[in-house]
A = this chain, B = another copy of it.
Amino acid sequence: MNEFDRIARYFKPLAAAFPGALGLTDDAALLTVPPDAELVVTTDAMVEGVHFSAHDTPQTIAQRLLRSNLSDLAAMGAQPLSYTLTIGLTKHIDDAWLAAFSETLHQDQKRYGIHLMGGDSVRTHDANIFSITAMGVVPRGQALRRTLKRVMEPNDVYEVYVSGTIGDSALGLMALQGKKLSGATAEDIEFLKQRHYAPEPRLDLARTIRPFALAAVDISDGLVADVGHIANASQVHVTLEADKVPLSAAAKRVCDANPAMIETILSGGEDYELAFVIDARESGLLKIALSKINVPLTRIGTLKKGAASVDVLDKDKRVMMLKQQGWQHF
């Protein structure tokens, strides 16, 4: 099967419901952006041997690839629209692999309301590589950013919230790499692996908090590193409380058996939860908004005017010394 046949069989169906994709037959795709909206554009790539390994399947690669991009859209408060896909495939990729990969993308497209609009496929020698550029829309001027919408005044109290539970993906990856997780049951291990394989981009939450959240970021590099992006962007000081950080029952059992694992949880990436900032006086708005969606939220810290940095306090309110703050891409 040549490139044109492969595109026709496996990827054209993913673009069928999006007229601007032009059936993937033209040199480029067309996108209409409503006049009261801004387009939000993000790119995330994954390389075999770096971002995924032999334990990954076409299904898990497709899920993590698309959902990590959707999570970036969520971090900006955007609703998904369309994406382009670049695949660099070795000769080991066969049609069954491509069928499973594209079928998983198709399922996730329906789940999240996004469509393939174009792409490129190239041959690679030694490692498979995948890259998505995803596009979404926000009402004009309402995108959430890492930078605070308002400059903090001395009396302001801003709070940091995070969705879901933190650290599961990092622990799941350890399990996948064959590392022992003391304290975890067999069911825990399965749960953690699944959290790594199938993160949940927080698109509904993003749309709900967009009107009053002051800054947001998704947890891709690690909780401390990503909250650090907010601190750096706005030149504010963030204090997080380690024992407030929401843990799954599985992660709790791992931490109980080995308290040093909290460091892995605080610095591990790829949870794709949302961390965001609100003015403490607007916590009532948050409560009302959240009555409409079913996403667990936890207040994990506070922001103050001050030097850009993140302190994490242990249960005795002492600043923890963290060896590693997050994922370095290079």
A interface list, Cβ under 8 A from B: 1-3, 6, 20, 22, 25-33, 35, 38-47, 49-51, 72-73, 75-76, 78, 82, 84-86, 88-89, 117-127, 129, 131, 133, 135-136, 140, 143, 145-147, 217-218, 220, 229, 232-233, 328-330
Contact = CB atoms under 8 A, between A and B. Distances in A.
A47 B126 contact: no
B146 A28 contact: no
A276 to B, nearest CB: 12
The 10 closest A-B pairs by CB, nearest first: A28-B42, A35-B35, A27-B75, A133-B133, A3-B329, A126-B126, A31-B39, A33-B33, A3-B330, A27-B72
Contacts of A41: 28-31, 82, 84, 117-118, 135
A122 B51 contact: yes
B27 A31 contact: no
A39 B42 contact: no
A202 to B, nearest CB: 12
A220 B3 CA distance: 15
B27 A328 contact: no
Given A28-B72, A45-B86, 15 more contacts: A3-B329, A26-B145, A27-B146, A28-B42, A28-B73, A28-B75, A30-B41, A30-B143, A31-B38, A42-B118, A45-B120, A47-B124, A122-B129, A125-B126, A131-B131
